[in-house]
Structure 1
Amino acid sequence: MTVIAVLGLGEAGGLLAAGLVEAGATVRGYDPRMPAPPGVVPTGSDAEACAGASVVLSVNSAADAVEALRESLPGCATGTIWADLNTATPSLKERLSALGANVLRVVDVALMSPVPGRGLATPMTMSGPAAEELAGVLRGFGASVDVLDGPVGAAATRKLLRSVFYKGMAAAVVEALEGARAAGLEEWLRDNIREELIRGNAATLDRLVDGSRRHAVRRRAEMAAAAELLGELGVPPRIAAASRDWLEDLA
């Protein structure tokens, strides 16, 4: 029977651990702040959780990733697959690989959508020499995995570049609605944004990129005015100012 350790039993880690248990894996878990979900064997430390596990899923945070690996090493057998699922830079993933090199086979895992609502079926992208082996293990429990032909850090690179768009777009929407709320126009702008998102199609990307380059001078002035308006409304123009600066560079 496959034994998997899950370090970090918060929202994402707890759901993944529970899904693995339901699929038939023996799961050992550790989190100093969260109790283990039903069916997960609770342990008292990272190293204790890793004892006897052939796969370790590190799902704590980028800030805790290095310490979790260091604390776990005494409990890990040589050849253990260490899957880092934290949202972190490629350089941090490479550092983890170097720190565990004599004992662990580190795999860079990027969760490509929120875990709530999907659990173990959350799309994962993996890279690193042991990625195919890890993918085989997790697919056996129902996981959705895409393996990249690349080193540790390749999966993190793709996720973070995608995040620039998705999270950046979300931040732009939040900032625009804050300004609209201050101006008494929130419902109007919400309807406008909804219509634009519905109208988007395959040509939208080219229109956004080409239009920004072709009309950079005019749009730079427009975003300078938009940033000024937000300031007058008492809303910090973080995204508007960044857009103004990008258009200045394009011009």
Structure 2
Amino acid sequence: MSLQIAFIGYGEVGQLFARQLATKADVRVSVYDILFDDPIRGRELKQRASDDKVHAADSVADACATADIVISAVTADSAIMAARQAAPHLKPRQTYIDLNSVSPATKRDVADQVRQGGAAFIEFAVMAPVSGVGIEVPILSGGATAETTSVRLNKLGMKITPVSSEIGTASATKLCRSIVIKGMEALMVDFTLAAEKAGVMPAVLASLTVSYPGMDWDHIAKAMMSRVKQHGVRRAAEMREASRMIAEFGLDGSLAAAIAERHESFARSGSEPSST
């Protein structure tokens, strides 16, 4: 029997996953993105889908109509809206997966939306950058049917590990990791800009190498600066979800909120990562 997978959101993750899954035997992939309605960018995205042997759906309803699995791959701040738009078109035989980097509470809000029509809900937490590895990126899953669905998708080459039948464990694991990674990226932005202005970059890098000899600080600084410039707006939305999660635990989420602001401000600024 063929497996039909629909993606809501055709950005970096949606494009990479859809393209790779569409090459698998007996798998049909459809995608929908709100940018499909844009007269210029929509045409380009639809052509990209066609080139990758992926069906570009006319609407969320069209994408969901025949899908066995619907995967939401939008941005963190659009996760609930995507679920609301999909919910009226979901049936009990279908599974809706949210792989967006959002708080446990947001994942539960999404689950409440999609379960209204009887569809199953599973949370995914992507635990590393998808660039390069694509569907083989480590993913944690959670939900009542997480184990069976994970086994089914792992047969296609994915690397999904079920961690809980409850919604929230996988997303909490991801966001706690993100506090460290996105926090380091924000630090690298300010460190690099300040050190270059002061003319002390070589001395600081030498000192860091002495303190942490196992880390290539020059490479880390350049790579993280580049990632924030390219993905800072999307990662800011993720860190606001991390701040929300921390606050829900009764803790102070102001640091995560500040990290979000630094990612977004640098991504929107005219500053460019140093090539020196």
TM-score range, shorter chain: 0.7 to 0.9
Task: Please give the alpha-carbon distance, in whole angstroms, between the structure 2 residues aligned to 1:191 and 1:51.
Answer: 58
CA RMSD of aligned residues (A): 2.0
Q: Structure 2 unaligned runs (5+)?
A: 36-44, 216-253, 259-276
Aligned to 1:174: 189
Q: Structure 1 unaligned runs (5+)?
A: 201-237, 243-251
Aligned ranges 1:1-251 → 2 under 5 Å: 1-24=2-25, 25-33=27-35, 34-35=45-46, 36-37=48-49, 38-102=52-116, 103-199=118-214
Aligned to 1:228: none
The TM-score normalised by the length of structure 2 is: 0.69
Task: Please give the alpha-carbon distance, in whole angstroms, between the structure 1 residues aligned to 2:210 and 2:126.
Answer: 29
Task: Please give the alpha-carbon distance, in whole angstroms, between the structure 2 residues aligned to 1:99 and 1:47.
Answer: 15
Distance 1:197 1:174, change over 3 A: farther
The secondary structure found in structure 1 opposite 2:22 is helix
- Residue 197 of structure 2 aligns to which amino acid in structure 1? A
- Residue 112 of structure 2 aligns to which amino acid in structure 1? A
- Residue 72 of structure 1 aligns to which amino acid in structure 2? A
- Residue 86 of structure 2 aligns to which amino acid in structure 1? S
Does structure 2 conserve the Cα–Cα contact (< 8 Å) formed by 1:51 and 1:77?
A: no
Q: How far has the Cα of 1:191 moved from its partner? A: 3.9
Q: How far has the Cα of 1:195 moved from its partner? A: 5.0
Task: Please give the alpha-carbon distance, in whole angstroms, between the structure 2 residues aligned to 1:57 and 1:72.
Answer: 10
Task: Please give the alpha-carbon distance, in whole angstroms, between the structure 1 residues aligned to 2:57 and 2:199.
Answer: 53
Q: How far has the Cα of 1:150 moved from its partner? A: 4.0
The TM-score normalised by the length of structure 1 is: 0.75
The secondary structure found in structure 1 opposite 2:100 is coil
Task: Please give the alpha-carbon distance, in whole angstroms, between the structure 2 residues aligned to 1:170 and 1:196.
Answer: 19
Task: Please give the alpha-carbon distance, in whole angstroms, between the structure 2 residues aligned to 1:73 and 1:126.
Answer: 20
Q: Deviations over 1:95-143 (max 9, x none)?
A: 1111222322111101111111011111111111111122012101100
Q: How far has the Cα of 1:180 moved from its partner? A: 1.0
Q: Deviations over 1:2-47 (max 9, x none)?
A: 0000111111110000111112310011112233521111111111
Task: Please give the alpha-carbon distance, in whole angstroms, between the structure 2 residues aligned to 1:98 and 1:63.
Answer: 17
- Residue 164 of structure 2 aligns to which amino acid in structure 1? D
Structure number with larger C-alpha Rg: 1
Q: How far has the Cα of 1:93 moved from its partner? A: 0.2
Task: Please give the alpha-carbon distance, in whole angstroms, between the structure 1 residues aligned to 2:56 and 2:210.
Answer: 49
Runs of 4+ that moved beyond 4 A: 194-197
Q: Deviations over 1:144-197 (max 9, x none)?
A: 111102411111100000111111122223222222112101233234435544
